[in-house]
Structure 1
Amino acid sequence: MLKHTVRALALLLVGLGLSTWVQLPASAIVDRDCGDFPSQAAAQNFFNNAGPGDPHGLDADNNGIACESNPCPCIGRGNPGGQNPGNTNNQQNQGPRIYRETGNVVRVIDGDTLKVRLRTGGVVSVRMLGINTPERGRCGAGEATDNLSEMAPVRSTVQLVSDPSQAAKDRYGRLLRYVKRQGGYNDLSFRQAWEGYTKRYVFGGKPVARDREYVRGINRARRVDAGLWGTCW
């Protein structure tokens, strides 16, 4: 009974964004995971006060930012008040962090997912934002994959950028990014939409920032039966 009461109190404190940490007896400590926190900021406040070594495993990629896939409000390490430490006027942060990466395509998984070797090191899976192409085994999956492979072939250079209105990663650990081919198309999600290989994708009821542009491309493809519209949909 005591354990459940302590857990409920602790979650209420982090849910309110309180950074004050109350020392509890060892028998009352409860392991946390990202699903226990209503926002990334709440998780970061807890992470900052939990002590060294990330005892709860909230920082999966060891970059000092806890639970990056949780919804915003968002803050970074060492910034428990949600303010920009570089701002001498102590003004509030104007928004969540935007991630930008550059790398080379290692593999095209399907029509909306790539494997990319980042210039900073390591291979990551990238789920393109705002679109949803057919899954493997479904009508048009091969064609959508082939189209993306033509636009972003293996070894081509791509630039990735996150959308501050969306999570940085999905539940599978894939980076959620807009993808631009260096020397090629500015937005591969839009090209898949324009050429008829995808439908609109909205997660959690919150469209991506470029949703209107993608819908425009999808509507155009549908009108002219481009891509999969005349065969699979």
Structure 2
Amino acid sequence: MRALVINPNTSTQVTQMLHAHLREHLPQTFALDSVTARFGGAYIASEAGYAIAAHAVLDAWATSTNEYDRIVIGCFGDPGLEALREISGIPVIGLAEAAMLEAATLGRFAIITGGERWRPILKRRAAAAGVAEKLAAIHILRETGAELLADRARALDLLAAAAQDCVRTQQAEIVLIGGAALAGMGEALAERLPFPVIDNVSAAARALLAPISAPAADLDHVVYSGLSSELSVRIR
């Protein structure tokens, strides 16, 4: 089994973190390659950034040189998820979708992440995954992913306080820690909190190992202009 991890932003640090965390949760026989978006933002913080990231995801897949059994979109929000499923013919896993589907099997869940403009995007993702009725709350941290990464101990304290607030005030039964830059923090919190906590990157690793049927590629055979040569070839 071989999977490709696509980081939709241009931060190589995030790509390295994603790869390392996923690698820890997969057997050594499972091959894993990771790639960083060739264009776009260092982080995704708006609807425009999300749209650009979706294009970058398709471009990253098109420029890959190996054959893959599965793909992971390494962004909590899954830009390009449906589009890549449509054209690749490969099972595609998104951090947000994988974590939401897992959380929904346990009960009502709250999401803790950073970036106020992610709220409507994550609501749409929950609806697309069919779990909107299980979404109890979305708690947006004021701190950016970079700020949380800079001080892990403080980040865990902030996340723990937010998680406890969601359970106490929003009747959430499970808390989902979302954000590629927060990989591993959900697992650390699960050891110190008395309720289930799901780490979004760990959930994606579990989804990678689960049986998934490969979809058939469904190309539209439209001639596009202005795309990279690699994507132009693979999209039709």
TM surpasses 0.5: no
Q: Bigger relative contact order, structure 1 or 2, given CA contacts below 8 A and separation 6+?
A: 2
Give the helix-richer structure, 1 or 2: 2
TM-score range, shorter chain: under 0.3
